[in-house]
Amino acid sequence: MLSIGFVGLGSMGQAIAVKILQSGYLLDVYDRSNDALKVVVAAGARQASNLQELADGKDLVFLSVSNADMTEEIICESGGLLDSMNAGGVIIDLGTTPYGQCVELAEKAGTAGLSFLDAPISGSTPWAEAGTLAMMVGGSKPAYEKVRVVLTTFADKIHYLGDSGNGQLLKLCHQLTFAATLNGLAEAIALAEKYGQNAETVLNVLSDCVAPNHVIDFMLPMAKNKRFDQGRGSLKLVHKDLDAVLHSAKQVNVTLPLAEVLSGYMTQAMEGGWSEADLFALVDMARDEFYSNQ
């Protein structure tokens, strides 16, 4: 059985560590907070008195810390993971670390005879407790295969994505999508409330509509093609609808920054020759806009 360590016992780290313990693994833990340590030690973990003791002789160490520079310090400082883990050991970063920093850490780990996997997660504490987190993994395939069975103790939707940094890249894609979706819902609620509706009604109605639940269901089949444009002319219809949204907001003196940006973007599209494009051509537009700036 792998010798496992865990550093960083915030609410998410605690839930993941306990889930690993409940699956029958032995686990050494370290955190600067004694209160955080008590919870996991009570669940059966062994407390390390310092980082070097935690790392000594380990085949696998999880890091669940909120600061990327702290992650690098734990790995690279004198007496840290690179100095103390078993040869062939695997370091797994569960936090959010910039892409380039992941690549550098993987290189440093490789030089020390270790492997580094960037493996950020999506979900919150209840998902961790249920073992149903989503995980995005970048790094060495053999290292991933070596530890995958441990990952399945707390994540049941694991995506291996190849080279170092790709796990973090997809986590950042999730964060972008989440922030945009949440902002759209926030503006929808603000507008509806000005007209006498309430947030619960808005969310209940939208849960039965295409957005936000089923957009990806529509897009996945299109992703197999080079372009998303279906040529059905629906983009101009949504452009018209966003104008109606902004007009309705103005009538009740509500400012909707995201809606204004989207309307401006679609106006640009209408003027740029996309008037007969499908709504899903927004993907193609984003791509073309990106590549045109290179």
Q: Are strands 121-122 and 133-137 parallel, antiparallel or unpaired?
A: antiparallel
Per-residue pLDDT band at 278 (split at 50, 70, 90)? confident
Task: Please indicate, yes or no, whether residues 238 and 273 belong to a single structural domain of this protein.
Answer: yes
Question: Smallest Cα–Cα separation from 245: which of 262, 231, 228?
Answer: 262
User: For residues 72, 74, 78 and 84, what is the CA-based torsion angle, rounded to 10 degrees?
Assistant: -120
Residue 67 lies in domain: 4-162
Q: Is 22 exposed, middle or buried (0-12, 13-18, 19+ CB in 10 A)?
A: middle
What is the domain-level CATH number for residue 96?
3.40.50.720
pLDDT in tens, 137-194: 999 999 999 999 999 999 999 999 999 999 999 999 999 899 899 999 999 999 999 9
Domain boundary among 127, 162, 197: 162
On the question of pLDDT at 289 being above 80, the answer is no
Please tell me the total count of domains within the chain.
2
Task: Please indicate, yes or no, whether residues 16 and 71 belong to a single structural domain of this protein.
Answer: yes
Task: Please indicate, yes or no, whether residues 183 and 123 belong to a single structural domain of this protein.
Answer: no
For residue 14, give Cα distances in angstroms to 116, 117, 201, 202, 241: 21, 20, 36, 35, 46
Task: Please indicate, yes or no, whether residues 230 and 281 belong to a single structural domain of this protein.
Answer: yes
Task: Please indicate, yes or no, whether residues 52 and 85 belong to a single structural domain of this protein.
Answer: yes
What is the domain-level CATH number for residue 184?
1.10.1040.10
On the question of pLDDT at 294 being above 80, the answer is no
Task: Please indicate, yes or no, whether residues 31 and 73 belong to a single structural domain of this protein.
Answer: yes
Domain boundary among 162, 191, 224: 162
Task: Please indicate, yes or no, whether residues 193 and 229 belong to a single structural domain of this protein.
Answer: yes
Question: Residue 139: left if φ>0, alpha if ψ -120 to 50, beta else—which one?
Answer: left
pTM for the full predicted model: 0.87
Task: Please indicate, yes or no, whether residues 79 and 98 belong to a single structural domain of this protein.
Answer: yes
Task: Please indicate, yes or no, whether residues 135 and 279 belong to a single structural domain of this protein.
Answer: no
How much is the pLDDT for 170? 95
Task: Please indicate, yes or no, whether residues 157 and 182 belong to a single structural domain of this protein.
Answer: no
Chain centroid to CA 111: how far?
A: 28
Domain boundary among 114, 136, 162: 162
